[in-house]
Chains A and B, each alone.
Chain A
Amino acid sequence: MNALTPFAGALPLAAEAASRPPLGGAAIRFEAVSKRFPASRAATEVTALDDVTLDVAPGSITGIIGRSGAGKSTLLRTINGLDRPSGGKVLVDGTDVGLLDSAGLRALRREIGMIFQHFALLSSRTVFDNIALPLELAGTPRAEIASRVDELIDLVGLADKRGRYPAELSGGQKQRVGIARALATRPRVLLSDEATSALDPETTRSILALLKRINAVTGVTVVLITHEMHVIKEICDRVAVIEAGRIIETGDVYEVFARPRAETTRSFVASVTGAALPEAFAARLTPHRQGARQTVLRIVFTGDNATAPVISRLSRSLDVDVTVIAGQVDAIGGRPFGNLTVAVPARQDVVEAVVALVTSHGLQAEVLGHVA
């Protein structure tokens, strides 16, 4: 099973996306959403969400990243009403989720697919019957269920597993069933709750590629939560960073990678861009120039200038010895993005000249510290 599985279901899904009326404004809007879990015998009161305001554009893949306990799961669950906010409101296609009665909420949930970290497949049902479940719940006629499920099985590349039970599938295959099931009722929104956190890196990539392809073809709005920045890097258009129940940073994924502002965002970005220094080296860094032999700089390559030959120019035009310490070149959203940590002689004039030259190429340079 890999990302190259032929995309058999493309045509019917594309037709279905085209027949849908265009959505104006945000697909999902959080307005000052807060959620407090009252104190219990086991715990004191917990504020899971604190005044969260966020728009999710229709057709986008929006990632919400945070560490465990940051509130991302609660935020996701307010979208389909699994959790009710204590304050503020959540609008899905303009509908206030909090105002729906239970029948209205069930109707909304059929418009919102959801996939789970541990797949949540019924062990007693085959692949086919698991995918059929949401259609059965909606009272879809049997013949219609059969043709829709077969279409979805092809879409996720599991045609040979149609009659198998979840216990006979690998993790990646189970998540493909979960994705097919989530799409069965042709939802407008797909929620992903750490969908790849239980998978190995290669399977993660193929599942992310599948999600991206489904988004591209059906136009379904994807909201995913994760604690792994590479998931954001891999498929998201927009990212929101959540910490202690608050959105601390939000924006276009490329912008956030290029210019992370909050400390937490920086560390998330560093975890995947090669901006993190080797530990033994980081320990030797000091903020003091006195007695230091070298100054350590980070150069961030972004946009059109990402491929500028700045290192060779540094050594040629400034006659400076440049030591490369860490680095990585990558693509984010199809645009080149690089991160290079270098050491140059620790002299004020040299460092200033290096920064000036790097900046003149449209790149960013930042002094991280000095080493003896």
Chain B
Amino acid sequence: MSPEIVRLMLEALGQTLYMVAAAGLTGTALGLPLGVFLATSGRGELFQAVALNRALGLVVNATRSTPFIILVVAIIPFTRLVAGTSIGTTAAIVPLTVAATPFIARIIEAAIREVDPGLIEASRAMGATPLQIVRKVLLPEALPAIVLGLTLTAVSLIGYSAMVGAVGGGGLGDLGIRFGYQRFMPEVMAAVVLVLIALVQAVQSLGDRIARRVNKRLRDA
């Protein structure tokens, strides 16, 4: 492979990492409160608001069922509003975030619903406010599951980021399509795939390691 290709690969890797990190962080910032709300606003729950819970659930499901490549194109006006442009790596962060947020919300919701309801009852018996229950009980207890879920999200985002070449987002996937496929350079395609495999492996092992560290449930006494 020529030094030029290697330079392109490094640049594309940087773009992928930038998009995934930015969309992952923003998606978590938005998806965390949304997920907490979804998990605690059902009937008889801490912040009971059944109608709003249903409405948000519908929006989340709708977003999640839209194929990502269609989502990217469909929200171009919104992307332009937020990023000032609809083309380029930074602009691609907008659709990635829009896709990641409901995904993360569902992951947080599932993680919180796994927390033993007995703990919620015990904290109520201690005189905790609903917000205290979320902060001091639900989130810390759900943390191992949340970390694993966010790892899953990061891996999915790496996959999604391969599609934003459609709007000039760049990144590894784009490089693989343009050089490996359109210019008949199979070695570039192979190299891109290998880098992606290594990246996903690294993200997954890091996530697993953090999840193990924060999980105090299974320890050798």
Whether both chains belong to one complex is answered with yes
- Chain A interface (Cβ < 8 Å from any Cβ of B): 80, 82, 105-110, 112, 114, 116, 118, 120, 122-125, 133-134, 136-138, 165-169, 181, 185, 191
Contact yes or no, B141 A116, CB < 8 A: no
Contacts A123-B216, A165-B219 given; indicate if A134 touches B126 (C-beta within 8 A). Answer: yes
Interface flag for B143 (CB, 8 Å) = yes
Provide the residues of chain A in CB contact with B126, threshold 8 Å.
109-110, 114, 133-134, 137, 181, 185
Chain A residue nearest to B120 in the complex (CB)? A120
Pairs of residues from A and B, 3 with the lowest C-beta to C-beta distance, nearest first: A120-B122, A109-B127, A106-B127
The docked-state distance in angstroms from the alpha carbon of A82 to that of B129 is: 13
Across chains A and B, the number of contacting residue pairs, with CB separation under 8 Å, is 71
Contacts A80-B125, A120-B119, A124-B216 given; indicate if A136 touches B136 (C-beta within 8 A). Answer: yes
In the complex, how many angstroms separate the beta carbon of B187 from the nearest chain A beta carbon? 48
Chosen A-B contacts, 28 in total, with CB atoms closer than 8 Å, are: A82-B124, A107-B127, A110-B126, A110-B127, A118-B118, A120-B121, A120-B122, A122-B137, A123-B217, A124-B141, A125-B140, A125-B216, A133-B123, A133-B126, A134-B127, A136-B136, A137-B123, A137-B126, A137-B128, A137-B136, A166-B216, A167-B218, A167-B221, A168-B219, A169-B221, A185-B126, A185-B127, A191-B125
Render B190-221 as a binary contact track against A, CB cut-off 8 A, 1 for contact: 00000000000000000000000010111101
Contact yes or no, B221 A116, CB < 8 A: no
Contact yes or no, A114 B122, CB < 8 A: yes
Render B126-155 as a binary contact track against A, CB cut-off 8 A, 1 for contact: 111100100011001101000000000000
Interface flag for B116 (CB, 8 Å) = yes
Contact yes or no, A82 B136, CB < 8 A: no
In the complex, how many angstroms separate the beta carbon of B192 from the nearest chain A beta carbon? 40
The docked-state distance in angstroms from the alpha carbon of A125 to that of B122 is: 14
Contact yes or no, B216 A138, CB < 8 A: no
Render B92-126 as a binary contact track against A, CB cut-off 8 A, 1 for contact: 00000000000000000000000010110111111
Main secondary structure on B side of the interface with A: helix
Provide the residues of chain B in CB contact with A80, threshold 8 Å.
125
Contacts A120-B116, A122-B137, A124-B140 given; indicate if A114 touches B125 (C-beta within 8 A). Answer: yes
Chain A residue nearest to B129 in the complex (CB)? A106
In the complex, how many angstroms separate the beta carbon of B101 from the nearest chain A beta carbon? 26
The docked-state distance in angstroms from the alpha carbon of A120 to that of B136 is: 14
Provide the residues of chain B in CB contact with A181, threshold 8 Å.
126
Contact yes or no, B125 A82, CB < 8 A: yes
In the complex, how many angstroms separate the beta carbon of A330 from the nearest chain B beta carbon? 34
The docked-state distance in angstroms from the alpha carbon of A109 to that of B143 is: 27
Known: A120-B116, A124-B140. 9 other contacts (CB 8 A): A105-B127, A108-B127, A110-B126, A116-B118, A122-B140, A124-B216, A181-B126, A185-B126, A185-B127
Provide the residues of chain B in CB contact with A123, threshold 8 Å.
141, 216-217
Chain A residue nearest to B119 in the complex (CB)? A120
The docked-state distance in angstroms from the alpha carbon of A108 to that of B126 is: 9
Contact yes or no, B136 A167, CB < 8 A: no
Provide the residues of chain B in CB contact with A169, threshold 8 Å.
221
Provide the residues of chain B in CB contact with A109, threshold 8 Å.
124-127
Provide the residues of chain B in CB contact with A167, threshold 8 Å.
216-219, 221
In the complex, how many angstroms separate the beta carbon of A169 from the nearest chain B beta carbon? 7
Provide the residues of chain B in CB contact with A107, threshold 8 Å.
127
Most chain B beta carbons < 10 A, residue from A105, A120, A133: A120
Provide the residues of chain A in CB contact with B214, threshold 8 Å.
124
The docked-state distance in angstroms from the alpha carbon of A124 to that of B211 is: 12
In the complex, how many angstroms separate the beta carbon of A265 from the nearest chain B beta carbon? 29
Chain A residue nearest to B221 in the complex (CB)? A168
Contact yes or no, A124 B124, CB < 8 A: no
Chain A residue nearest to B137 in the complex (CB)? A122
